[in-house]
Structures are given as structure tokens and as C-alpha cells.
Amino acid sequence: GAGVSQSPSNKVTEKGKDVELRCDPISGHTALYWYRQSLGQGLEFLIYFQGNSAPDKSGLPSDRFSAERTGGSVSTLTIQRTQQEDSAVYLCASSLVRGGSDTQYFGPGTRLTVL
Amino acid sequence: AQRVTQPEKLLSVFKGAPVELKCNYSYSGSPELFWYVQYSRQRLQLLLRHISRESIKGFTADLNKGETSFHLKKPFAQEEDSAMYYCALVNFGNEKLTFGTGTRLTIIP
């Protein structure tokens, strides 16, 4: 079956522009996670969805970042007024049931470059 | 606050030699720890979790609560073990998975 997919795979944008990153989780997975992978920084947790709700948004780096999930499936991560420090690989993962302890299946990532 | 530390950014080991990737953590509760791996041009994937007490691809990891460590070990390295390895810890309160900064393992033929 299909794994987690993300689009676009690469995005180059100018500073100040808004970007939308999309994640399609594995069908039937109720939990969805967003991470950011910066050079030398490891993986930074951004947000977690259980169904369509996000119990904890404290991982989002600033109020320029927002995320939503509709229909318990697709999620979009939106970055407004992008800055150069937003350049990173954004990873999405999903798991069958609630909980960070459940195996997370990762997508291929979206590489964002802000010029 | 929970924290995962992987002190080695890079580790090179000869084929056939033992491998140990270090991971230390800080967490106020009872921890659940994982190792995730990313092979070249592949997705990040789960390697093993401490509660399973299993060996995957010859790798094992033992949780040592006294030393707050969860080191990943393999007695005889193989070339296909070359990859980026991340240690991770879950916070059951908010389901947040905290990753270390990763160790790039290179197996020298």
C-alpha cells in the first residue's frame, strides 16, 4: 500500500512569501505529526494531530506557522511571510493510533529553501 | 523538560568491528525510547524500541535507567549499516517525540 506522501518535494520561495506544504498520511492512520529537520539540528517536533484536532501547538516556532487537518486525513502546514531561517526539510509522519509511542511512518519530506 | 543527547555527530567503524552509538536522555517520568534510522535516499524509519526487547538487523539497545542511557549496539558492523541514526524519547503527556541530533554512521569496507 501507499506510504505517507508529501508535496511538493522541493519548494524554493522568496523571503516574505507564504508557502503551503501538504501531507497525505497512510489511509486509516488517525495520528499525524509534523517535524522540521534543519542542518545540524536534528528533528524538531512541530505539531501533532489526533483526528482533526491538535492538542498541543506549542512546538510551532512562531505565529507565522499554522497547520490544519481536514477529514481526518490530509494536513497542510502553512508558513506565512517566510524567512531564511525557515529553510529546512519538513517531514510528516502518521501512526495508526494515538500516541508518540506508536510506530510513526515518515514521508519523504519537503525541502524548503527561502531565498 | 525532556532531552535526548547523541554526543557523536559522526562515527566511522571498520566492517566486522563492533558498533556502539551513544544516546543519553533526561526525562522526569518513565521513559519510552526508540532508535530511528535513515538510509541514503530512503525515508526515516523505526529501527527498534526498548519495550520490544528485540534485535533488528543485529542491533540491540538496552535501557539503563541508572545511567539514563539507551545505547545502540551491534557486534559486527556491515556495510549496509551505514546510515543516519536518531535516538528518540516519547512524552506520554502530549505524545511528543523528541529526537536527538543524530549520528551518521559510516562503515569502512
Q: What is the pLDDT of residues A58-100, one digit of tens each?
A: 889 999 999 999 888 999 999 999 999 999 999 999 998 766 6
Could you tell me how many CB contacts below 8 A there are between chain A and chain B? 60
A1, pLDDT greater than 60: no
pLDDT of residue B93: 67
Interchain pair B45, A105: CB under 8 A:
yes
Which ranges of chain B have pLDDT less than 70? 93-95
Q: Residues B13, B107: contact at Cβ < 8 Å?
A: yes
B44 shares contact with chain A (CB less than 8 Å): yes
Mutation target for B interface from A23, A30, A101, A102: give the one with most B CBs within 10 A: A101
B52 shares contact with chain A (CB less than 8 Å): no
In the stretch 44-73 of chain A, residues with CB closer than 8 A to chain B read 44-45, 48, 50, 55-56, 59
A99 shares contact with chain B (CB less than 8 Å): yes
What is the percent of chain A with per-residue pLDDT over 90, rounded to a whole number? 67
- With CA atoms as reference, the chain B residue closest to A5 would be B43
pLDDT of residue B28: 81
Residue/partner pairs of A6-11 with CB below 8 Å, 24 or more apart = A6/A90, A6/A91, A6/A92, A6/A107, A6/A108, A6/A109, A6/A110, A7/A110, A8/A110, A9/A108, A9/A109, A9/A110, A9/A111, A10/A110, A10/A111, A10/A113, A11/A110, A11/A111, A11/A112, A11/A113
Q: For A40, left (φ over 0), alpha (ψ -120 to 50), or beta?
A: left
Q: All 3 cell numbers of residue A75?
A: 494536513
Residues of A in contact with B100 (CB under 8 A): 42
B15-41 per-position pLDDT tens digit: 999 999 999 999 887 788 999 999 999
Number of Cβ within 10 Å of residue B26's Cβ equals: 13
CB nearest B86 (choices: A3, A42, A107): A42
Side-chain half-sphere CA neighbours of A33 within 13 A: 28
Residues of A in contact with B102 (CB under 8 A): 42-43
Interchain pair A42, B90: CB under 8 A:
no
Those residues with Cβ within 8 angstroms of residue B80's Cβ, 6 or more apart along the chain or in another chain: B39, B107
Q: All 3 cell numbers of residue B93?
A: 503527556
A20, pLDDT greater than 90: yes
Q: Residues B63, B70: contact at Cβ < 8 Å?
A: yes
- With CA atoms as reference, the chain A residue closest to B48 would be A103
Q: Residues A43, B86: contact at Cβ < 8 Å?
A: yes
Q: Which phi and psi angles does B79 have, rounded to 5°?
A: -60, -35
Place of cell 544516546: B23
Residue/partner pairs of A14-18 with CB below 8 Å, 24 or more apart = A14/A82, A14/A114, A14/A115, A15/A82, A15/A83, A15/A84, A15/A114, A15/A115, A16/A81, A16/A82, A17/A81, A17/A82, A18/A78, A18/A79, A18/A80, A18/A81, A18/A82
Residues of B in contact with A100 (CB under 8 A): 90-92, 95-97
A33-69 per-position pLDDT tens digit: 999 998 767 789 899 898 888 877 888 999 999 999 9
